[in-house]
Amino acid sequence: MNKIPHNVLLSVSIIVTITVVALYVYMHYAIQASISRAVLGGEIVRVEKESINQEASMKDTYLKTVEERKKVINMFISSLEAVSFIESIEKLGSYTGSDVVLSSVKSDSADSMASNSFAKINAHLEVSGSWTAVMRALHLAETLPYQVSMSNIKLNSSGFGKDVKKTWKLSFDIASNLIVAKNATSSVSE
Protein backbone atom coordinates (compact mmCIF):
# COMPACT_ATOMS: atom_id res chain seq x y z
CA MET A 1 0.00 0.00 0.00
CA ASN A 2 1.16 3.47 -0.79
CA LYS A 3 2.05 5.58 2.07
CA ILE A 4 1.19 9.27 2.01
CA PRO A 5 3.82 11.35 3.63
CA HIS A 6 2.73 12.83 6.93
CA ASN A 7 3.66 16.37 5.76
CA VAL A 8 0.99 16.18 3.10
CA LEU A 9 -1.58 14.90 5.58
CA LEU A 10 -0.64 17.63 8.05
CA SER A 11 -0.95 20.26 5.29
CA VAL A 12 -4.34 18.91 4.20
CA SER A 13 -5.60 18.83 7.79
CA ILE A 14 -4.41 22.43 8.39
CA ILE A 15 -6.12 23.59 5.17
CA VAL A 16 -9.33 21.75 6.16
CA THR A 17 -9.19 23.24 9.68
CA ILE A 18 -8.66 26.78 8.32
CA THR A 19 -11.52 26.27 5.83
CA VAL A 20 -13.85 24.97 8.56
CA VAL A 21 -12.95 27.90 10.88
CA ALA A 22 -13.48 30.38 8.02
CA LEU A 23 -16.83 28.78 7.16
CA TYR A 24 -17.81 28.87 10.85
CA VAL A 25 -16.96 32.59 11.14
CA TYR A 26 -18.78 33.34 7.87
CA MET A 27 -21.88 31.40 8.98
CA HIS A 28 -21.81 33.08 12.42
CA TYR A 29 -21.84 36.58 10.88
CA ALA A 30 -24.39 35.58 8.23
CA ILE A 31 -26.75 34.21 10.89
CA GLN A 32 -26.27 37.32 13.08
CA ALA A 33 -27.11 39.55 10.10
CA SER A 34 -30.13 37.41 9.24
CA ILE A 35 -31.39 37.54 12.85
CA SER A 36 -30.91 41.33 12.92
CA ARG A 37 -32.87 41.72 9.69
CA ALA A 38 -35.64 39.43 10.99
CA VAL A 39 -35.89 41.34 14.28
CA LEU A 40 -35.92 44.67 12.44
CA GLY A 41 -38.56 43.36 10.02
CA GLY A 42 -40.68 42.15 12.95
CA GLU A 43 -40.39 45.56 14.63
CA ILE A 44 -41.40 47.32 11.40
CA VAL A 45 -44.43 45.04 11.09
CA ARG A 46 -45.39 45.65 14.75
CA VAL A 47 -45.09 49.44 14.37
CA GLU A 48 -47.12 49.36 11.15
CA LYS A 49 -49.86 47.29 12.82
CA GLU A 50 -49.96 49.77 15.71
CA SER A 51 -50.18 52.60 13.21
CA ILE A 52 -53.06 50.91 11.38
CA ASN A 53 -54.86 50.27 14.70
CA GLN A 54 -54.32 53.88 15.77
CA GLU A 55 -55.61 55.14 12.41
CA ALA A 56 -58.69 52.91 12.73
CA SER A 57 -59.26 54.21 16.26
CA MET A 58 -58.94 57.82 15.11
CA LYS A 59 -61.36 57.22 12.22
CA ASP A 60 -63.79 55.56 14.62
CA THR A 61 -63.56 58.53 17.02
CA TYR A 62 -63.97 60.94 14.11
CA LEU A 63 -67.10 59.16 12.89
CA LYS A 64 -68.56 58.87 16.40
CA THR A 65 -68.13 62.61 17.09
CA VAL A 66 -69.67 64.05 13.91
CA GLU A 67 -72.80 65.26 15.71
CA GLU A 68 -70.88 66.64 18.69
CA ARG A 69 -68.49 68.55 16.44
CA LYS A 70 -71.46 70.10 14.62
CA LYS A 71 -72.80 71.26 17.98
CA VAL A 72 -69.48 72.83 18.97
CA ILE A 73 -69.26 74.97 15.85
CA ASN A 74 -72.84 76.12 16.43
CA MET A 75 -71.89 77.40 19.88
CA PHE A 76 -69.99 80.21 18.20
CA ILE A 77 -71.43 83.00 16.13
CA SER A 78 -70.29 83.51 12.57
CA SER A 79 -69.12 87.08 12.05
CA LEU A 80 -71.62 87.22 9.20
CA GLU A 81 -74.44 86.45 11.68
CA ALA A 82 -73.50 88.99 14.38
CA VAL A 83 -76.50 91.16 13.55
CA SER A 84 -78.95 88.26 13.95
CA PHE A 85 -77.30 87.45 17.31
CA ILE A 86 -77.90 91.04 18.44
CA GLU A 87 -81.48 90.90 17.20
CA SER A 88 -82.09 87.71 19.17
CA ILE A 89 -80.87 89.50 22.30
CA GLU A 90 -83.22 92.39 21.59
CA LYS A 91 -86.15 89.97 21.16
CA LEU A 92 -85.74 88.78 24.76
CA GLY A 93 -88.13 91.55 25.78
CA SER A 94 -90.95 90.35 23.56
CA TYR A 95 -90.46 86.76 24.73
CA THR A 96 -90.54 87.66 28.42
CA GLY A 97 -92.83 90.68 28.62
CA SER A 98 -90.02 92.95 29.82
CA ASP A 99 -88.42 96.04 28.35
CA VAL A 100 -84.96 95.27 26.95
CA VAL A 101 -82.61 98.05 25.95
CA LEU A 102 -79.35 97.22 24.23
CA SER A 103 -77.29 100.21 25.26
CA SER A 104 -73.95 99.31 23.66
CA VAL A 105 -72.44 96.73 21.33
CA LYS A 106 -68.74 96.31 20.62
CA SER A 107 -66.82 93.76 18.62
CA ASP A 108 -63.31 93.16 17.39
CA SER A 109 -62.78 94.16 13.79
CA ALA A 110 -63.14 91.10 11.56
CA ASP A 111 -61.53 92.93 8.62
CA SER A 112 -57.97 92.57 9.88
CA MET A 113 -58.35 89.03 11.25
CA ALA A 114 -57.56 85.76 9.54
CA SER A 115 -60.38 83.55 8.40
CA ASN A 116 -61.65 81.08 11.03
CA SER A 117 -60.02 83.00 13.88
CA PHE A 118 -61.95 84.20 16.92
CA ALA A 119 -63.13 87.68 17.75
CA LYS A 120 -65.21 88.92 20.70
CA ILE A 121 -68.60 90.59 20.66
CA ASN A 122 -69.72 92.43 23.81
CA ALA A 123 -73.10 93.99 24.58
CA HIS A 124 -74.58 95.80 27.57
CA LEU A 125 -78.26 95.14 28.28
CA GLU A 126 -80.73 96.84 30.56
CA VAL A 127 -83.92 94.93 31.34
CA SER A 128 -86.90 96.28 33.31
CA GLY A 129 -90.24 94.79 34.26
CA SER A 130 -91.78 92.49 36.82
CA TRP A 131 -89.62 90.10 38.83
CA THR A 132 -90.76 87.14 36.72
CA ALA A 133 -90.19 88.92 33.40
CA VAL A 134 -86.72 90.14 34.40
CA MET A 135 -85.64 86.72 35.68
CA ARG A 136 -87.02 85.04 32.55
CA ALA A 137 -85.00 87.45 30.38
CA LEU A 138 -81.86 86.67 32.39
CA HIS A 139 -82.49 82.94 32.06
CA LEU A 140 -83.05 83.17 28.29
CA ALA A 141 -79.89 85.25 27.87
CA GLU A 142 -77.91 82.62 29.80
CA THR A 143 -79.31 79.78 27.73
CA LEU A 144 -78.84 81.26 24.28
CA PRO A 145 -77.60 78.53 21.93
CA TYR A 146 -74.13 80.07 21.91
CA GLN A 147 -71.22 80.06 24.27
CA VAL A 148 -71.88 83.28 26.19
CA SER A 149 -70.42 84.78 29.31
CA MET A 150 -72.20 87.29 31.49
CA SER A 151 -70.69 89.83 33.86
CA ASN A 152 -71.48 92.98 35.81
CA ILE A 153 -74.96 91.74 36.70
CA LYS A 154 -76.85 94.35 38.74
CA LEU A 155 -80.43 94.13 39.98
CA ASN A 156 -82.42 97.03 41.50
CA SER A 157 -86.06 97.56 42.35
CA SER A 158 -88.25 100.64 42.47
CA GLY A 159 -91.87 101.49 43.17
CA PHE A 160 -92.57 100.81 46.83
CA GLY A 161 -96.10 101.28 48.04
CA LYS A 162 -99.57 99.78 47.95
CA ASP A 163 -100.81 101.28 44.75
CA VAL A 164 -97.47 101.35 42.96
CA LYS A 165 -96.38 98.32 40.96
CA LYS A 166 -92.87 97.23 41.87
CA THR A 167 -90.48 97.43 38.91
CA TRP A 168 -87.20 95.53 38.72
CA LYS A 169 -84.23 96.77 36.74
CA LEU A 170 -81.49 94.39 35.65
CA SER A 171 -78.34 95.34 33.81
CA PHE A 172 -75.56 93.06 32.63
CA ASP A 173 -72.83 92.61 30.06
CA ILE A 174 -72.99 89.64 27.71
CA ALA A 175 -70.06 88.47 25.58
CA SER A 176 -69.60 85.76 23.01
CA ASN A 177 -67.01 84.57 20.52
CA LEU A 178 -67.33 85.24 16.82
CA ILE A 179 -65.77 82.97 14.24
CA VAL A 180 -64.43 85.20 11.51
CA ALA A 181 -65.95 83.92 8.28
CA LYS A 182 -64.09 83.98 4.97
CA ASN A 183 -66.50 86.51 3.51
CA ALA A 184 -66.48 88.84 6.54
CA THR A 185 -65.93 92.38 5.35
CA SER A 186 -67.37 94.39 8.19
CA SER A 187 -67.84 94.16 11.91
CA VAL A 188 -70.30 95.41 14.42
CA SER A 189 -69.02 98.53 16.11
CA GLU A 190 -70.07 100.68 19.00
What is the full DSSP assignment across 75-132?
Answer: TSEEGGGHHHHHHHHHTHHHHHTSEEEEEEEEE--STTSPTT-EEEEEEEEEEEE-HH
Residue among 100, 108, 90 nearest 134 (CA): 100
pLDDT (tens digit, 0 to 9) for every residue of the chain, 190 residues total?
A: 578 788 888 999 999 999 999 999 999 999 999 999 999 999 999 999 999 999 999 999 999 888 887 776 666 666 667 777 788 888 888 888 888 888 888 877 666 666 667 778 888 999 999 889 999 999 988 888 777 889 999 998 887 666 667 889 999 999 887 776 655 444 444 4
Contact call for residues 137 and 96 (beta carbons, < 8 A): yes
Rg of the chain over Cα atoms, rounded to whole angstroms, equals 40
